[in-house]
C-alpha cells in the first residue's frame, strides 16, 4: 500500500516543505512501500532508497540542491558521516513511530497502543482499518479499545460474529473447528472476550489456549449442568480453571456459568453433539450415580434412566406427577424416545387415576356412579386404549405397563361390580325412577323433543360407541377447520347427559329402544343375525311406529343407505319438509365385531364415511345435532378371560338352579329384557363367552351401559378431563395415597335383605370446571384462598374477587385449561389469554408470580399453579 501521507509527515518533521534540501528518514514500519515522489506545497520530493554512503553522496550531488527524501536502512543510518548528516534537513535522521504511522494512515490520532503485537496486527491490516473507519462516524481519537474493535471487524469479516453470537455458539464453533489463527489474532480475541461476554468471556478466553480445553468445556460442562452435588472427579481438566487467578470466577458462580455455556453449545451442535454426549456419558457412568445421571436434561442416558425410574414407580403403584412427563418432553433427547415417553405419559396417568378414591365412595346412587364414570373412569378407559396402542410402537417398559394395566383393570372391575350390584338391587326401578338418568327409550321425551318444533333435528347414532371412544371423537372434531364440540348444559339440564343403554346391551334391543321410543318386547337377536337382516327391516319399521314422535316427518339412513356415499343423506338434511333425519354409523361396531384381536380399536371422524359432511350439512341448514350410541363395548384383553361357550359373549340365560359364570352377575330385568327367565350379565372387563373378537358388548359394565348423549354445536366444548389427566403437576405419594386393592369376589345376586355398608363420611367435593358441572360462584371458588395460595397479605388484598377465584382453582387442581378458566369467569375463551397474561404481570410486578403458562398438544393454553415451596426455591 503506497501511503504518500507518511512521506508528507516526514517532510513536516524535517521542518516543513522547502524548495531545496534533502530529508533523511529511517526505513521501518509503514515505509516498506511508498510512492517514488510526493507533491508538497513548495516542491516535488523525489524518494530514493540508498544502500550505501556512496549511493547517498551520488544522490546529493545529482540533486544539485533539489529536495528529495532518502529512506535509509538502519545500519547505514547509524554509520552516516557527520557532513552528510549536517547538510540534511534538521541535521538528523527522522523516524516514524508506529502510532504516528497509524495516525497518518487512518487520519485519526491513535493513542495507547504500545503493544507491539497489536501494532503489527494493525499495520498488517491498514487498508482494511481505513475502510472500516470510513463506514463509521469519524472518531476524534482511536484508543486501545476502539482499535481492538476495528481489528476484530477486519480480522473476522464482521465483529458481530464475536459480539452478537452467544458464548455457547462460539464454543460450539471452536470445539468443532479449532481456530488456526496467528498468535496475535488469538491474543486479540482472548483479550476482548471478557469485555464482550463478561464471565463467560473469561472462561472462553481461558479455553482458547488449547483444543483440549475447548472440548473439556463441552464434555465436563454437560455433567456439571446436572442438578445437585457432583464429585470433584467430574471437573477433570476444568480443575485448573477453578484455580486460575486470571479468570477469577468465584467457585459458587463458576459451575453455573460452565453449565450454561455447555448446554448452549450442545444445542448449537445439534446432531454433531452426539460424540461429546457419548464421551460425557462414559465419564458419568464412572463418577455419577444412576440417580444423578437421571437428572440430566441433556444426556440421552439421563433421559433413559429417568424413563426407567418413572416406569418402576408406576409399577410400584406410586402416583407420578405430570411434571415428570413435561421434563421428559423438554429433554434434548426427547425425539429419540418419543414413543417411550408417550407410553409413560399414559402409565403416569394410570398412576394418578389409581391414587384417587374408588367410584363407590361417590355414593350408592345410580346417577352418581354414571357421573363418576363419565368424569373419571371413561378417561381411564381412553388412556388404557392409548397405552395399548403405544405398546405396539416400542419394546421398552412392557412389564411395567402390564402391571399398571392389571392395577387399572382391578380398579375398574371394582367400579363395574359396584355398578352392577346397584342395578341388580332393582333394575326396573333404577331405570325409570332415577332422577336425571335418561334410558335410551326416553331420549325423545327427555332430550330430543325439548326444543322448538319448527327446528329440524339430526339424530346421529354411533353403533357400539363407548363413552371413551366418543370423547376421542369429540377431541378430533375440535381440530376441524370449522370446529365442532359439545353444547355446555344449562343449569337445569346438566344431568341430561346421563344416558344408559338397556340390558342386554346389544344392537337389536338397545337400538330398537331408540327408534321405537319404548323398550322392545321382541325376542333377542344375535348380533351376527341382526347385522345381516334385522336392521334393514326392523329399524325403519320401529322408527315409523314411534308414538312419541306423533305426526312429525322423519327419515332413517342405515349402513346400506350410506354404502354408496352420503349424497342421499345430505339431500335429506337440506329438505326442510323432513323434521327429523336419523343416521346410523356402524364404523365402531363393525370393528369390535372383527376377529382381528391383534388390532387396537381407533376410530377417527374423518374415517367414518359421510360422518363429517353430514354434521356440516346439518349445521348449515339450521338443524340441531343430537349424538347418541345404542351401546358401548368392552375391549378384548386375553383369552384367559373366556368363561365358556355361547353365542352371546356378555350375557346368558340361567337355568332354575344355575349359578352365574365367573365375572357375571344376575340381574332381574323382569319383562324388559326381550324374553322372560333368569339372566346373568358380565361385569368384569373383557370377560366373554364364545370366540374372541376386538370388543364385546351385551353386559352390565359401565363401558357398555353408559352411552354418550350430547348436542353438537359449532365452537362447542370438549368433555372436560378429570383432575388427574394433566395433573396435579407436582405430587407426592403422601399427597395421593394409593388405596389398597380389594379382592374381586365372585358376584352373586344380592337380595333386598342384605345389610347396607355404613356410608363413608362425605368428602369435600372439589370444584370441577368441565362439561358436566354447573358453573360455581366466584365466592365458592375463592373459599380458603389465603391458605391455598400462600401469598403475602398485601398481595391478597390487591387481588380482585375473580382473580382470587381463578388462582384458588389452580391451587386446588394443580392446573386448568383456558376453556375451564373461561367458564369460571363467564368470559369468551378468546379473552381469557389476555386476562391471564395481565394477572401474571400484576403478580410478577409485586414479586409473587404463582402460576406458569404452557401450551397443550392441541394448541390450548394450560395454566399451572406453582406451590409456595417451589417459588422459594426458584
Q: Which three cell numbers stand for residue 645?
A: 361357550
Helix, strand, coil shares, percent, the chain, to 5: 50, 10, 40
More confident residue, 761 or 24: 24
Residues 465/707, Cβ–Cβ less than 8 Å: yes
**CA 10, CA 817: separation in Å to the nearest integer?**
79
How far is residue 282 CA from its own chain's centroid? 30
Helix (H/G/I), strand (E/B), else coil: 359: helix
Which pLDDT value is given to residue 734? 39
153: pLDDT strictly greater than 50: yes
Helix (H/G/I), strand (E/B), else coil: 86: helix
Would you place residue 763 in the very low, low, confident or very high pLDDT band (cuts 50, 70, 90)? very low
Q: Are strands 634-635 and 695-696 parallel, antiparallel or unpaired?
A: antiparallel
689: pLDDT strictly greater than 80: yes
Which pLDDT value is given to residue 748? 40
Lowest pLDDT segment from 225-239, 245-259, 318-332, 358-372 = 358-372
Smallest CA-to-CA distance from 259 within 229, 217, 208, 212 is with 217
Helix (H/G/I), strand (E/B), else coil: 357: coil
More confident residue, 640 or 790: 640
More confident residue, 744 or 61: 61
The count of other CB atoms within 10 Å of the CB of residue 173 is 17
CATH topology of domain 422-637+691-720: Alkaline Phosphatase, subunit A (3.40.720)
H-helix or E-strand spanning residue 570: helix 567-574
Which pLDDT value is given to residue 16? 87
674: pLDDT strictly greater than 80: no
Residue for grid cell 361385569: 683
211: pLDDT strictly greater than 80: yes
H helices of 604-743, where?
611-620, 702-705, 723-726
**CA 15, CA 544: separation in Å to the nearest integer?**
123
| Class of residue 149 by CB neighbours under 10 A (exposed 0-12, middle 13-18, buried 19+) | middle
Which pLDDT value is given to residue 705? 95
389: pLDDT strictly greater than 70: yes
Span 220-246, mean pLDDT? 87
Residues 266/301, Cβ–Cβ less than 8 Å: no
769: pLDDT strictly greater than 70: no
Residues 696/636, Cβ–Cβ less than 8 Å: yes
Q: Which three cell numbers stand for residue 336?
A: 429419540
661: pLDDT strictly greater than 80: yes
Which pLDDT value is given to residue 36? 83
Residue for grid cell 334393514: 536
Smallest CA-to-CA distance from 851 within 788, 801, 777 is with 788
Which pLDDT value is given to residue 768? 38
Smallest CA-to-CA distance from 851 within 861, 869, 840, 865 is with 865
**CA 49, CA 72: separation in Å to the nearest integer?**
6
755: pLDDT strictly greater than 50: no
Angle at 354 between CA 353 and CA 360, to 5 degrees: 95
Phi, psi angles (nearest 5°) of residue 40:
-120, 180
Residue for grid cell 401450551: 855
Phi, psi angles (nearest 5°) of residue 681:
-130, 140
Domain coordinates of the chain in residue numbers? 1-96, 165-184+198-287, 300-419, 422-637+691-720, 778-873
Which pLDDT value is given to residue 791? 87
Residues 10/23, Cβ–Cβ less than 8 Å: yes
pTM recorded for the entire structure: 0.66
Give CA separation, 463 vs 218, 583, 584, 590, 628, in Å: 59, 10, 7, 9, 9
Segment 808-833, tens digit of pLDDT:
888 877 788 888 788 778 777 777 88
CATH topology of domain 778-873: Arc Repressor Mutant, subunit A (1.10.10)
Segment 452-496, tens digit of pLDDT:
777 899 999 999 999 999 989 988 888 887 788 787 654 333 334
Segment 829-868, tens digit of pLDDT:
777 888 888 888 888 888 888 888 877 756 678 888 888 7
128: pLDDT strictly greater than 90: no
Segment 331-375, tens digit of pLDDT:
888 888 899 999 999 999 989 999 888 755 445 578 889 988 988
Residues 11/41, Cβ–Cβ less than 8 Å: no
Amino acid at each position: 500500500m503506497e501511503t504518500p501521507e507518511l512521506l508528507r509527515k516526514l517532510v513536516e518533521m524535517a521542518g516543513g516543505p522547502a524548495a531545496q534540501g534533502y530529508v533523511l528518514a529511517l526505513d521501518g514500519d509503514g515505509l516498506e512501500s511508498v510512492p517514488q515522489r510526493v507533491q508538497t506545497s513548495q516542491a516535488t520530493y523525489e524518494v530514493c532508497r540508498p544502500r550505501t554512503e556512496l549511493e547517498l553522496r551520488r544522490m546529493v550531488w545529482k540533486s544539485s540542491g533539489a529536495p528529495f527524501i532518502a529512506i535509509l536502512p538502519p545500519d547505514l543510518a547509524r554509520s552516516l558521516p557527520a557532513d552528510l548528516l549536517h547538510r540534511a534537513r534538521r541535521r538528523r535522521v527522522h523516524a516514524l513511530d508506529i502510532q504516528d504511522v497509524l495516525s497518518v494512515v487512518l487520519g485519526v490520532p491513535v493513542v495507547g497502543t504500545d503493544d507491539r503485537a497489536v501494532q503489527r496486527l494493525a499495520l498488517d491490516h491498514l487498508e482494511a482499518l481505513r475502510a472500516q473507519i470510513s463506514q463509521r462516524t469519524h472518531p476524534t481519537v482511536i484508543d486501545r479499545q476502539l482499535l481492538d474493535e476495528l481489528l476484530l471487524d477486519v480480522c473476522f469479516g464482521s465483529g458481530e460474529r464475536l459480539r452478537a453470537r452467544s458464548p455457547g455458539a462460539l464454543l460450539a464453533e471452536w470445539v468443532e473447528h479449532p481456530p488456526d489463527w496467528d498468535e496475535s489474532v488469538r491474543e486479540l480475541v482472548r483479550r476482548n472476550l471478557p469485555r464482550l461476554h463478561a464471565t463467560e468471556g473469561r472462561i472462553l478466553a481461558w479455553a482458547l489456549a488449547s483444543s483440549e480445553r475447548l472440548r473439556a468445556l463441552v464434555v465436563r460442562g454437560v455433567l456439571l449442568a446436572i442438578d445437585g452435588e457432583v464429585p470433584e472427579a467430574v471437573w477433570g481438566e476444568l480443575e485448573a480453571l477453578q484455580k486460575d487467578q486470571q479468570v477469577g470466577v468465584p467457585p459458587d458462580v463458576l459451575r453455573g456459568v460452565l453449565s450454561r455455556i455447555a448446554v448452549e453449545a450442545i444445542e448449537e451442535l445439534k446432531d454433531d453433539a452426539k460424540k461429546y454426549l457419548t464421551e460425557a456419558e462414559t465419564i458419568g457412568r464412572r463418577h455419577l450415580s444412576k440417580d444423578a445421571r437421571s437428572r440430566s436434561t441433556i444426556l440421552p442416558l439421563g433421559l433413559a434412566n429417568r424413563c426407567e425410574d418413572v416406569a418402576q414407580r408406576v409399577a410400584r403403584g406410586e402416583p407420578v406427577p405430570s411434571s415428570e412427563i413435561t421434563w421428559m418432553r423438554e429433554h434434548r433427547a426427547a425425539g429419540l424416545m418419543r414413543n417411550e415417553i408417550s407410553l409413560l405419559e399414559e402409565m403416569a396417568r394410570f398412576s394418578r387415576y389409581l391414587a384417587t378414591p374408588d367410584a363407590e365412595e361417590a355414593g350408592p346412587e345410580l346417577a352418581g356412579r354414571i357421573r363418576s364414570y363419565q368424569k373419571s373412569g371413561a378417561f381411564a378407559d381412553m388412556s388404557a386404549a392409548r397405552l395399548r396402542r403405544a405398546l405396539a410402537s416400542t419394546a421398552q417398559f412392557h412389564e411395567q405397563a402390564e402391571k399398571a394395566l392389571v392395577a387399572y383393570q382391578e380398579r375398574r372391575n371394582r367400579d363395574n361390580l359396584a355398578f352392577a350390584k346397584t342395578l341388580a338391587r332393582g333394575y326396573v326401578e333404577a331405570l325409570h325412577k332415577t332422577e336425571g338418568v335418561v334410558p335410551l327409550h326416553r331420549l325423545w321425551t327427555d332430550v330430543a323433543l325439548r326444543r322448538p318444533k319448527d327446528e329440524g333435528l339430526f339424530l346421529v347414532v354411533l353403533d357400539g360407541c363407548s363413552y371413551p371412544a366418543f370423547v376421542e371423537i369429540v377431541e378430533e372434531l375440535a381440530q376441524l377447520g370449522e370446529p365442532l364440540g359439545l353444547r355446555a348444559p344449562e343449569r337445569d339440564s346438566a344431568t341430561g347427559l346421563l344416558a344408559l343403554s338397556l340390558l342386554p346391551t346389544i344392537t337389536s334391543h338397545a337400538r330398537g329402544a331408540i327408534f321405537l321410543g319404548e323398550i322392545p318386547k321382541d325376542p333377542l337377536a344375535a348380533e351376527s343375525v341382526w347385522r345381516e337382516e334385522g336392521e334393514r327391516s326392523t329399524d325403519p319399521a320401529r322408527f315409523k311406529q314411534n308414538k312419541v314422535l306423533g305426526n312429525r316427518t322423519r327419515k332413517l339412513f342405515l349402513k346400506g343407505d350410506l354404502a354408496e356415499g352420503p349424497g342421499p343423506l345430505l339431500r335429506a338434511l337440506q329438505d326442510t319438509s323432513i323434521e327429523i333425519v336419523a343416521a346410523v354409523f356402524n364404523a365402531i361396531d363393525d370393528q369390535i365385531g372383527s376377529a382381528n384381536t391383534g388390532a387396537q380399536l381407533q376410530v377417527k371422524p374423518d374415517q367414518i364415511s359421510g360422518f363429517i359432511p353430514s354434521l356440516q350439512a346439518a349445521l348449515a341448514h339450521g338443524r340441531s345435532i343430537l349424538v347418541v350410541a345404542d351401546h358401548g363395548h368392552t375391549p378384548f384383553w386375553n383369552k384367559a378371560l373366556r368363561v365358556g361357550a355361547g353365542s352371546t359373549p356378555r350375557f346368558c340365560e340361567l337355568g332354575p338352579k344355575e349359578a352365574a359364570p365367573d365375572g357375571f352377575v344376575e340381574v332381574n330385568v323382569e319383562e324388559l329384557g326381550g324374553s322372560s327367565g333368569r339372566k346373568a350379565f358380565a361385569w368384569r372387563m373383557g370377560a366373554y363367552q364364545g370366540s374372541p373378537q376386538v370388543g364385546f358388548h351385551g353386559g352390565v359394565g359401565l363401558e357398555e351401559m353408559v352411552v354418550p348423549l350430547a348436542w353438537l354445536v359449532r365452537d362447542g366444548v370438549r368433555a372436560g378431563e378429570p383432575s388427574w389427566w394433566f395433573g396435579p403437576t407436582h405430587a407426592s405419594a403422601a399427597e395421593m395415597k394409593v388405596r389398597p386393592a380389594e379382592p374381586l369376589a365372585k358376584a352373586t345376586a344380592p337380595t333386598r335383605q342384605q345389610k347396607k355398608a355404613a356410608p363413608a363420611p362425605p368428602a369435600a367435593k372439589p370444584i370441577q370446571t368441565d362439561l358436566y358441572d354447573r358453573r360455581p360462584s366466584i365466592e365458592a371458588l375463592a373459599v380458603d384462598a389465603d391458605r391455598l395460595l400462600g401469598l403475602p397479605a398485601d398481595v391478597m388484598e390487591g387481588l380482585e374477587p375473580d382473580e382470587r377465584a381463578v388462582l384458588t382453582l389452580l391451587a386446588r387442581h394443580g392446573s386448568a385449561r383456558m376453556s375451564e378458566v373461561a367458564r369460571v369467569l363467564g368470559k369468551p375463551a378468546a379473552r381469557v389469554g389476555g386476562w391471564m397474561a395481565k394477572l401474571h404481570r400484576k403478580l410478577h410486578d409485586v414479586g409473587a408470580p404463582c402460576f406458569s403458562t404452557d401450551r397443550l398438544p392441541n394448541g390450548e393454553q394450560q395454566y399451572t399453579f406453582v406451590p409456595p415451596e417451589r417459588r422459594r426455591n426458584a
